[in-house]
Amino acid sequence: MAAISQKEAARRFAKTWEGRGSETKDDRQFWLQLLMDVFRIDNPFSVIEFQKPVKMESSTKFIDGFIPSTRVLIEQKGIDIDLTKRYRQSDGAELTPYEQARRYDQYMLPDEHPHWIVVSNFKSFEIHDMNRPYDEPVVILLKDFPNEYSKLSFITDAQRLHIQHEKQVSLDAGKIVGRLYDALSKQYVDPDSERSKHSLNVLCVRFVFCLYAEDAGVFLKDQFHDYLKDIPIEDLREAVLRLFEVLDTPGDKRSPYLKESLKAFPYTNGGLFHDRDIEVPMFTEEIKDVLVQHASDDFDWSSISPTIFGAVFESTLNPETRRGNGMHYTSIENIHKVIDPLFLDGLKEELQAAKDAPATRRRQELRNFQERISELTFLDPACGSGNFLTETYLSLRRLENEVIRELAGDNMLLGMEDDLIKVKISQLYGIEINDFAADVARTALWISEAQMMEETRNIVQKDMDFLPLKSYTNIHEGNALRMDWNEVVPASALNYIMGNPPKPFIPRVCKYSIAV
């Protein structure tokens, strides 16, 4: 029997707890049922700790519930308690339930301080983000829970914490790129000319790809670093130009007399290093230090989020943004507010149905699902640095990797070795008026492809070569307000539009469309 949808589970949960809830008798059952039935935690006791002791100044108090993995503190009250009112405590203090929880927080160990405090009285949930402890809470009423349960997904969602880490790493990477950009810019004869600005942007994109490649296993470990470190500063410009030429040349067309340090670099394909007409200035010790020490030795690029970093990268190197001291990008959470209801929630339910199919049909159902997601097409007609497209690709590949994991676990991968990965970045189409942003979008998609291939490699325990790039990006430079979108992708072949396209030009033939 197929599992019920998460929304249906949330509806049943709300119905079960309608009009009932004793703080002393029902609190554990309430949260265990929430974790098991709605958020599908098989062993909720491994996730939540009830009655966690906290040693305060004169006594030991007990937290109703604590989820260590996501650092969620739960203060559970009975159904008759008003969460907005203050109640007298044993020491005479008058506190709201949230203030009571905040007091526990003060006495917890540093690595246990909650990211979230959730206060509940069975008929509602108050969600407090401790990064903004004085903001008004997000409130979910039990009667609205079937439509709003996703607002509580953070309680078990380790992915949210992973996203926070990726965001910080990506912001740190942006600072490094900013330093590199500034150091290189000073070396151009006319840094304000269009050719110099374009060349500088392309140069930074190429450096970022090389830095990511050596940390993520696309190149050999520290290969870019080791190539640069011993080259005298007066020879560094020519060495970089030579490297770009080699990266753009297939192995069978390279000179047989190349130095070993250059010969070892793989052919990249994809056009990233194809333009030989860019202006590359002389390098300085400062530039070399940023590249070799700060960007390579001191930083690991493999854990950046291409979704976030593409936008950070673009903002870092965009002169208008830099002058305005601002940075604008759509967060991963907000991207999912668009793509989840648009297509991802439905695909997850389809995948679950395939996983629950009878054993005789299970392999075929999983393969059919994989084929289906590999045929979907997406357009962002004002894609900027490509964060909507990149996050869409990552989401599709995570679904595909789940299929591969299921098939591998049942020893059903035989015959799929040459056709293992079906989802391609070529399914994503973008239009962008800024040539540099378009380059960043292509690079972000390539990085996301490398990351997901690494995940697949870990599932099947098999070597898979990322380079030379075998897929291609469909990021087109142009003004979406003035061009025919059918020249990018025929409307009849398009499944979804997303992002923030110019509203008057949404194709009528498209299956779904949305603007945010």
CA 442 → CA 73, 474, 488, distances in Å? 41, 8, 15
pLDDT of residue 503: 44
pLDDT of residue 429: 96
pTM above 0.75, yes or no: no
- Do 248 and 363 share a domain, yes or no? no
- Do 111 and 234 share a domain, yes or no? no
pLDDT of residue 165: 65
User: How many angstroms from the chain centroid is the CA of residue 331?
Assistant: 9
DSSP 396: H
CB 315 within 8 Å of CB 436? no
pLDDT of residue 507: 42
The Cα 486–Cα 463 span in angstroms is 39
Q: Specify if 503 maps to a domain.
A: yes
How many domains is the chain built from? 3
pLDDT of residue 511: 47
Q: Specify if 432 maps to a domain.
A: yes
pLDDT of residue 169: 78
Position 356, amino acid: D
The Cα 223–Cα 188 span in angstroms is 27
pLDDT of residue 467: 60
CB 60 within 8 Å of CB 54? yes
- Do 151 and 169 share a domain, yes or no? no
- Do 293 and 336 share a domain, yes or no? no
Residue 119's beta-bridge partner residues?
A: 75, 126
CB 283 within 8 Å of CB 186? no
The Cα 487–Cα 481 span in angstroms is 13
- Do 494 and 361 share a domain, yes or no? yes
Q: Kindly report the CA angle at 223 between 219 and 228, in degrees rounded to 5?
A: 140
The three-state secondary structure class of 513 is strand
- Do 171 and 146 share a domain, yes or no? no
* Helix (H) / strand (E) containing 456: helix 435-460
Which domain-ending residue is among 251, 284, 304?
Answer: 304
DSSP-assigned states of every residue in 413-437: -TT-GGG-----GGGEEEEES-HHH
- Do 80 and 141 share a domain, yes or no? yes
CB 23 within 8 Å of CB 75? no
| Burial of 414 (C-beta count, 10 Å sphere; 0-12/13-18/19+) | exposed
- Do 209 and 264 share a domain, yes or no? yes
Pinpoint the alpha helices (H) of 3-81: 6-16, 27-33
| Neighbour tally for 266: CB within 10 Å | 18
Which domain-ending residue is among 112, 137, 156?
Answer: 156
Q: Specify if 314 maps to a domain.
A: no
- Do 56 and 21 share a domain, yes or no? yes
Dihedral of alpha carbons 202, 208, 211, 213, sign: negative
DSSP-assigned states of every residue in 60-98: EEEEEEEETTTTEEEEE--TT--TTS-EE-TTS-EE-HH
Q: Specify if 324 maps to a domain.
A: no
- Do 339 and 473 share a domain, yes or no? yes
| Neighbour tally for 163: CB within 10 Å | 18
Domain of 38, CATH number, reads: 3.90.1570
pLDDT of residue 279: 94
The three-state secondary structure class of 221 is coil
Q: Specify if 270 maps to a domain.
A: yes
- Do 22 and 122 share a domain, yes or no? yes
Q: Specify if 317 maps to a domain.
A: no
- Do 348 and 485 share a domain, yes or no? yes
Q: Specify if 419 maps to a domain.
A: yes
pLDDT tens across the length of the chain (516 residues): 234 577 888 999 999 999 999 988 999 999 999 998 898 887 888 889 999 999 988 889 999 999 998 899 999 999 999 999 999 988 888 999 999 999 999 899 887 889 899 999 999 999 998 888 888 899 999 999 988 888 888 888 755 655 666 677 777 888 888 899 999 999 999 998 989 988 998 898 889 889 988 887 888 889 999 999 999 999 999 999 999 999 999 888 999 999 999 999 988 876 778 888 899 999 999 999 999 999 998 888 887 778 777 767 766 665 555 444 444 566 777 888 889 999 999 999 999 999 888 988 988 999 999 999 999 999 999 888 888 999 999 999 999 998 988 887 667 676 666 678 899 999 999 999 887 788 888 888 888 888 888 888 878 777 766 666 656 779 999 998 899 999 999 999 999 998 764 444 444 344 444 444
* Helix (H) / strand (E) containing 512: strand 512-513
Which domain-ending residue is among 304, 319, 346?
Answer: 304
Q: Specify if 213 maps to a domain.
A: yes
Task: Give me the domain span that covers residue 505.
Answer: 332-513
